[in-house]
Amino acid sequence: MANTMDKLTPTPGQTVGPFFGYALPFEKDNELAAPGRPGSIRLQGTVTDGAGAPIPDAILEIWQPNADGNIVAETGSLVRDGYTFTGWGRASTGNTGRYTFTTVNPGATRPGAAPFIAVVLFARGLTNRLFTRIYLPEDTAALAADPLLASLPEERRSTLLASREPDGGLRWDLRLQGDGETVFLEFDGARHAPAQGA
Amino acid sequence: MTSPRQNTQQEMSAEIQAIASTYRQSLAAGAAPLTQPSLDYAPYRSSILRHPTKNLHHTDPETIELASPAFGHQDVSPLEADLTIVHNGEPQGERIKVAGRVLDGDGRPVAGQLVEIWQANAAGRYIHKRDQHPAPIDPNFTGVGRCITGADGSYAFTTIKPGAYPWKNHINAWRPAHIHFSLFGSEFTQRIITQMYFPGDQLFPLDPIYQSIVDQDARDRLVATYNHELTSPEWSLGYNWDIVLTGPKRTWTETEALGEDGEHHG
Ligand SMILES: [Fe+2]
C-alpha cells in the first residue's frame, strides 16, 4: 500500500559565502518603494555578531504586504519601474554592518493582526539561512494578541519589534548571537491532515 | 576563542572527524538524521561568532510567509541562463550544461520561480573585488546567471566548470569546485541558498563548509550527477541536479480560505 505521507527530503542549504557581492545585489534592490514618494519610509539597522562586531558581509531580504495589508503578486522586483510595489527587496550590509530599505509600513493582513515584515538572513559564516520577523511597534493590542509574540518571554519578544524613528522610519537591529540575540524561526505548519490509519 | 595560530589540515580533519563520529553514534542510538547543515559548526571558523546560541523558535507560518514574491520574464532575460555569452570572446575552461528541476517537498514542480547562480571561473577566481586568490581573471567570464523555472520546475544553465579555490579557514584550505544557487519556492518559508558540487571531488572530506552538513545522505543531495544524455557532441558536458525545497507548509484549510478570498498565491 502506498504511504500517502511519503515526501521528498529537502536539499540542504549552505552558506552564501563571501563572494555574493557581485552576483546577488542589483540596482534598486532595496527600494521596494521609491524614496521620497508619499508613504515611503526607511527601514534600517545593523547586523552584529556574537562579539557585538558589525557583520559587513550579510544580506537580508524582506517580503511584506502592502500598506493596505494585501499580499501582492506583482513581478518586476529585479527591474523596478519606480511605482509598482512588489513587496520584496534585498539589501547587503556595508562595512558598518548596516542595511537600509525604502518601503512602506505593512498593513494588517486581517483585522486585529499585528503587521509584520518577513525577513530572511544570509551571511558568510552562517551555514544556513535564518528566518525572522520585524513587527511594527504601534498596535499594542494586536502585538499582545500575536501568537508568535505571545509564545516568547518578554526579553526575547522585544528583538522582533522595530522602533519608530522621528522621521517616521523604522529601526531594527539584528544580533546573530549573544546578548539580545534575535529570535529566529523554524516553521512548523500543519501541512495536510494525516490520513486516518495510514 | 580563535586560536593564536592557524590549524593545519590534519588538525582540521581531526575536528571534522570527531564531530562526524559523534553524529554517527547519535544515529546508532536512534536519533533522526539531520538533513540541514549545523549552524554551530566550529571547524568553519567564521561560524563561531555567527550562529544563534538559542534554539530556533517553532512557529506556524502566517499569511505573507505562506506566499512568495513573484518573478517573471520582465525580471530575467533568457540570455542570462548562458554564462558563456556575456562577453565578446569564449571563456576559458570546460563548457558544461547544468540542468534539473526545482520541486517542493511533495514532489510538485516549482514553476515560474527565480533561480540565481554565481561561481568562480575555471581557474578558481571570482570577479569579486575581495577575492585575493592569485589565479587569473578571465576577461570573458563573469560567473553570474539567472533563470525562471519552467512549468515543470525545470531550469538549465550553460557555463564553465568552476575551479577549486583556496581560502583562509586553516592552512592549505581549499573549497571543492561548486556553483552557488539561490532559490525561491511558492512560499517564503521555502527560500534557500545553497551550493552544487561535482561528483567525485577529492576535497569533500577536507572541506568544513561541505562537512557542516554532518549527514552523508544529506551531503550527497548537493552533488550533481554526470549525465551523458545532457552532454552535447563537440560542445559541452552535462550535469543534472534537482533541488527539493522544504514544505509546503500551507494546510488544505488555509489554501481553501485563501482561494475563497481570491488571494491564492500558489
Ligand atoms: Fe564559492
Q: Where does the pLDDT of residue B76 fall: very low under 50, low under 70, confident under 90, or very high at 90 and above?
A: very high
Interface of B with A in 69-108 (CB under 8 A): 69-72, 74-76, 103, 105-107
Residue B21 inside a domain? The answer is no
Residue B37 DSSP one-character state? -
What gap in Å lies between CA A47 and CA A29, rounded to an integer?
A: 18
SS3 call for B181: strand
pLDDT value at residue B249:
81
Between CA B55 and CA B62, with CA B57 as vertex, the angle to 5 degrees is 160
Q: What is the pLDDT of residue B130?
A: 85
H or E element: which one contains B252? helix B252-260
Q: How far is CA B116 from CA A60, B112, B113, B178, B241, in A?
A: 16, 13, 10, 14, 14
> A73 touching B, CB under 8 A?
yes
Q: Is the ipTM of this complex over 0.90?
A: yes
Number of domains in chain B: 1
Task: Judge whether B200 and B168 are in contact, CB under 8 Å.
Answer: no
pLDDT band for position A1 (50/70/90)?
very low
pLDDT per position as a tens digit, A95-106: 999 999 999 999
Contacts of A19 in chain B (CB under 8 A): 118, 120, 126, 128, 130-131
The verdict on residue B8 lying in a domain is no
Cell 512568495 sits at which residue? B68
Indicate if B178 belongs to the active site: yes
Asked if B165 is an active-site residue, the reply is yes
**pLDDT (0 to 100) of residue A198:** 30
In a domain, B38, yes or no: no
pLDDT tens column, B15-48: 999 999 999 999 999 999 999 999 999 999 999 9
Cβ under 8 Å to A: B residues 41-70: 41, 44, 46-54, 56-65, 67-70
Q: Quick one: DSSP state of residue B90?
A: P
pTM of the predicted model, to two decimals? 0.94
Round to whole Å and give the CA distance between B146 and A23. 10
> Do the beta carbons of residue A10 and residue B110 sit within 8 Å?
no
pLDDT band at residue B265 using 50, 70 and 90 as cut-offs: very low
Name the residue range of residue B232's domain. Answer: 67-247
Task: Say if residues A132 and A174 touch (Cβ distance below 8 Å).
Answer: yes
Q: Tell which residue, B172, B213, B223, has the closest CA to residue B20.
A: B213
B57 → chain A, closest CA residue: A185
CA distance B57 to chain A (A): 5
B126 counts as catalytic: yes
Assigned domain for B47 exists: no
Task: Assess A186–B contact: CB distance below 8 Å, yes or no.
Answer: yes
B36 located within any domain:
no
B167 lies in a domain?
yes
The closest CB to that of A20, out of B64, B118, B243, belongs to B118
Options B133, B180, B191, B219, the catalytic residue: B180
pLDDT, tens digit, 9 for 90 and up, residues B96-115: 999 999 999 999 999 999 99
- pLDDT > 80? residue A191: no
CA torsion B140-B141-B147-B150 (nearest 10°) is 80
Residue B27 lies in a domain: no
Q: Is residue B77 part of a domain?
A: yes
Determine which one of B41, B44, B165, B197 is catalytic: B165
| pLDDT tens by residue, B168-208 | 999 999 999 999 999 999 999 999 999 999 999 999 999 99
Nearest CA to A71 out of B155, B250, B107, B194 is that of B250
Dist. CA A60–CA A75, nearest whole Å: 19
Which of 24-43 (B) contact A at CB < 8 A? 35-39, 41
Q: What CATH number is associated with residue B90?
A: 2.60.130.10
Tell me the one-letter amino acid at B150.
Answer: G
Q: What is the mean pLDDT of chain B?
A: 93
Between positions 192 and 251 of B, the ones with CB within 8 A of A are 192-195, 209-210, 212-213, 217-219, 221-222, 243-251
Q: How far apart are CA A119 and CA A133, in angstroms?
A: 5
